[in-house]
Amino acid sequence: MLILLLKAILSSIPSSHSILATIKIMSENSFAPPESFVKLVRNGLLQLKQGKPSDLEELLYIVRLRHSKEAQQMGAVRYGVTKAIDQLELQDPEAAAVLRQRYLDRKSIQEIVSITHRSQASVHRDLRLAAEKLADILWQHEIEEHRNYERIQLRRLEPPTYDQLFGVDDIAQKLFDLLVDPAGPTPVMLVGSGGIGKTALADHLSRKIIQAHVFTGIGWISMRPQISLWDVRPFFTADSPEHAIEQLFERLTAQLLGEKYVPSPFDLDKALDRLEIFLNRSNHFIVIDNLEVFEPEETLLTILRRFTPYTKFLLTSRKSPTVYPDVYPVRIPPINAEASLALLRHEARKRNVVSLIHARDEDLMTIYDTVGGNPLALKLVVGQASYHALSTVLEDIQLARGKTVQDLYDYLYRWAWSNLSEPEQKIFLAMPLLPPEGGDFEQIVAITGMDEDTVHDALEKLVSRSLVDVIPGLEQSTYAVHGLTRTFVQEQAAKWR
């Protein structure tokens, strides 16, 4: 029965989004529909009258109504237009009446002339004006549906970990084009070292794709270990590759199809069958982040093949693409010099590092030449420039020249550590003991045993050195460190294995 219901719902999902392409050009304040939309409504009404498939079928407003019983009985477009005309009646009863007579009751112009005792020319004019008013109403519905679509899709993403991305415009555009191209490859895998920005880029692409309305929906599943006991669908960190696979598709089924379509009892094959029906009917964009955390790649890729080419999968991993022969790999390169400089200046402005804000490009290029275009590494350098003369920073980073990414981070963290005051080092040392998602001020005070003012000042400095992140919260902010930072503090500074 669920399958039948699923099929019924799926049959109501448009396979293309040409109308949405029109909608996306609107601005938040555009209350009046563009002429192209008015024309679409006029044509749609005519097609409805003639009993032909109507262009109005692709309006999101009509798509949503298709689930209703009335729409099943009388046809979605007819039902949607009837409702919109009812709405128009409240504003302009005459306009509503003439539209109803012409397009729902299918009366000829002559019949309407007889009923209304108006000239043919007047009836034509009345119909044109009434159709424009109806287009206004449908346009408002579309704006509303458009907002709903974005809200629903955005809710599936995690909070972004960046405020602005640098140097990814080209790769983001290429990836966007690749992913929205129906003939493009899938799955696409973003590969790169830690701190290079794979998750940030995947998030950026997802937001761009949502705005573009080119997919019916998007999905986002992170393979990071986590426990979610309190959610609608509880889950725990998987304890085997098989469990990880089950969990992934259980969550994806719930996210895309809704809770009631998750097979009960859970059965992976059934869930995959349902996803296959759903995904093969409508185009979706699905991100599977942090694939390297668990290693279900062989089984996973075999399963993903079932959904291609209708669904575009974007995977992220630190692992080399050679491990994944069937995947279209995209190695995330370090950002280029121009972007690195822009990032350095952006971070400098955020932290009010005057020496960098006004630094000459040659000086910033020295940083780039040494550190390369790794965003996290560049931020760490900005952090150092917050407290040291630029000349000192430039001199110190020379020692990092020519190092591998791992050695570079090691050097940068050691360098940062050596430049911290004793209270700052002591606060920094406490960071691995906080929960990975962030700990609060009170816990840091309790761990270090320092007075609140000292902790406050030291934290402020660690934040401005890009060693600690502040996560704003409703009641209070929490403090967290990047995974690479945590490893450094624990293994190098605390000598804890």
Print the binding letters for residues 119-158 with other proteins: x by CB under 8 A, - otherwise.
----------------------------------------
Residue 445, both tokens:
């005070």
Cβ 7 to other proteins, closest distance in Å? Answer: 15
Cβ proximity to other proteins: between 2 and 357 the closer is 2
Residues 386-405 that bind other proteins (CB under 8 A): 399
Q: For residue 474, state whether it binds other proteins (rule: CB under 8 A).
A: no
Straight-line distance from the first to the last Cα atom of the chain, in angstroms, rounded to the nearest whole number: 54
Cβ proximity to other proteins: between 365 and 493 the closer is 493
Reference 61, options 155, 148, 151, 154; nearest CA is: 148
Looking up tokens 């085997």 gives: 240
Cβ 439 to other proteins, closest distance in Å? Answer: 7
Cβ 380 to other proteins, closest distance in Å? Answer: 14
Cβ proximity to other proteins: between 323 and 494 the closer is 494
- Out of 107, 319, 426, 456, point to the residue binding other proteins (CB under 8 A): 426
- Out of 104, 447, 463, 471, point to the residue binding other proteins (CB under 8 A): 447
Q: For residue 406, state whether it binds other proteins (rule: CB under 8 A).
A: no
Residue pair 367/355 in contact (Cβ under 8 Å)? The answer is no
- Out of 277, 293, 433, 470, point to the residue binding other proteins (CB under 8 A): 433
∠ at Cα 343 (162, 408), nearest 5°? 90
Cβ proximity to other proteins: between 78 and 274 the closer is 274
Cβ proximity to other proteins: between 156 and 270 the closer is 270
- Out of 418, 453, 474, 476, point to the residue binding other proteins (CB under 8 A): 418
| Site stretch for other proteins (CB under 8 A), options 70-78, 104-112, 182-190, 489-497 | 489-497
Cβ proximity to other proteins: between 29 and 418 the closer is 418
DSSP bridge pairs for 337: none
Q: For residue 162, state whether it binds other proteins (rule: CB under 8 A).
A: no
- Out of 414, 441, 486, 487, point to the residue binding other proteins (CB under 8 A): 414
Q: For residue 471, state whether it binds other proteins (rule: CB under 8 A).
A: no
Q: For residue 475, state whether it binds other proteins (rule: CB under 8 A).
A: no
Print the binding letters for residues 237-256 with other proteins: x by CB under 8 A, - otherwise.
x-x---x------x------
Print the binding letters for residues 259-288 with other proteins: x by CB under 8 A, - otherwise.
-x-x-xxxx--x------------------
Print the binding letters for residues 194-233 with other proteins: x by CB under 8 A, - otherwise.
---------------------------------x-xx--x
Cβ 426 to other proteins, closest distance in Å? Answer: 6
Task: List interacting residues with other proteins (CB under 8 A).
Answer: 1-2, 227, 229-230, 233-237, 239, 243, 250, 260, 262, 264-267, 270, 399, 411, 414-415, 417-418, 422, 425-426, 429-430, 433-435, 437, 439, 443, 446-449, 492-496
